[in-house]
């Protein structure tokens, strides 16, 4: 849970924001900034919060996880693709638009593939701990969505911007977490299951809140006639 919570938003949050008629440009900008910061902040967050819990602290030591190894992993998994995408967008805009259409769907298919593999490899453990996993993921997702909504509301943002902050804060890049679990933690069963179910639930809750938000529009400004 700490690993997924440390992940930035992903492409799915941009899609959900667009579906909810929110500010997609703001969502994409937040994802880009958060992804860049995550290269440095994700290892720090994971190790800091992980060390506070005795059980996770023992797990981190047993797997021999270091902040530097996580940084190197994120550099290849996150930083290089992000830099490559920005370069293509800047120097070859036509190519970028064509790739965007293709990658928009393949990224979702890749997420589904990661989730399926993680669950099938740990099917028995998933069924045995389903209630606990569901409760933890549901609580964290609701809390994150609530915080994203309250930040936008307290800052008096527009409706479209509140939709973007709610979804962006409430959804994490679960595919990134799954990739790190398999590359950095040798596919540790518990971590893989949490990440996989989290990715599944984010799609469900994201589509649900998008349908709800579509009905929420900015109230038109009424100008009183003083003549």
Confidence of residue 64 (pLDDT cuts 50, 70, 90): low
Distances (CA, A) of 148 to 18, 128, 151, 217: 16, 32, 5, 18
Q: pLDDT tens for residues 90-149?
A: 788 788 777 777 776 777 777 777 777 777 777 777 778 788 888 888 998 999 999 999
Q: pLDDT tens for residues 14-52?
A: 888 988 999 988 988 888 888 888 888 888 888 888 888
Mean of the per-residue pLDDT values of the chain = 81
Give me the torsion for CA of 87, 112, 176, 152, rounded to 10°.
Answer: 80
Which structural domains are found in the chain, ordered by start? 2-213 (1.20.1530.20)
Distances (CA, A) of 213 to 2, 138, 166: 28, 19, 10
Those residues whose C-beta lies under 8 Å from the C-beta of residue 56, and which sit 6 or more positions away, are 2, 49, 50
pTM of the model: 0.78
Q: What is the pLDDT of residue 165?
A: 94
């Amino acid at each position: 849970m700490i690993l997924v919570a440390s992940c930035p938003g992903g492409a799915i949050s941009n899609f959900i924001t667009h579906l909810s008629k929110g500010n997609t440009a703001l969502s994409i900008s937040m994802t880009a900034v958060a992804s860049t910061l995550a290269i440095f902040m994700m290892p720090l967050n994971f190790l800091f919060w992980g060390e506070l819990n005795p059980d996770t602290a023992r797990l981190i030591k047993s797997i021999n996880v270091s902040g530097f190894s996580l940084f190197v992993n994120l550099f290849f998994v996150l930083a290089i693709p992000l830099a490559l995408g920005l370069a293509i967008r800047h120097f070859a805009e036509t190519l970028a638009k064509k790739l965007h259409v293709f990658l928009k769907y393949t990224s979702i298919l890749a997420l589904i593939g990661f989730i399926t593999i993680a669950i099938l490899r740990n099917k028995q453990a998933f069924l045995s701990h389903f209630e606990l996993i569901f409760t933890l993921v549901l609580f964290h997702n609701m809390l994150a969505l609530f915080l994203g909504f309250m930040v936008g509301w307290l800052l008096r943002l527009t409706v479209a911007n509140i939709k973007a902050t709610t979804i962006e804060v409430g959804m994490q890049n679960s595919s990134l977490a799954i990739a790190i679990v398999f590359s950095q933690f040798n596919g540790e069963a518990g971590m893989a299951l949490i990440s996989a179910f989290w990715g599944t639930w984010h799609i469900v809750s994201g589509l649900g809140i998008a349908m709800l938000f579509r009905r929420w529009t900015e109230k038109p400004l009424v100008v009183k006639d003083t003549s």
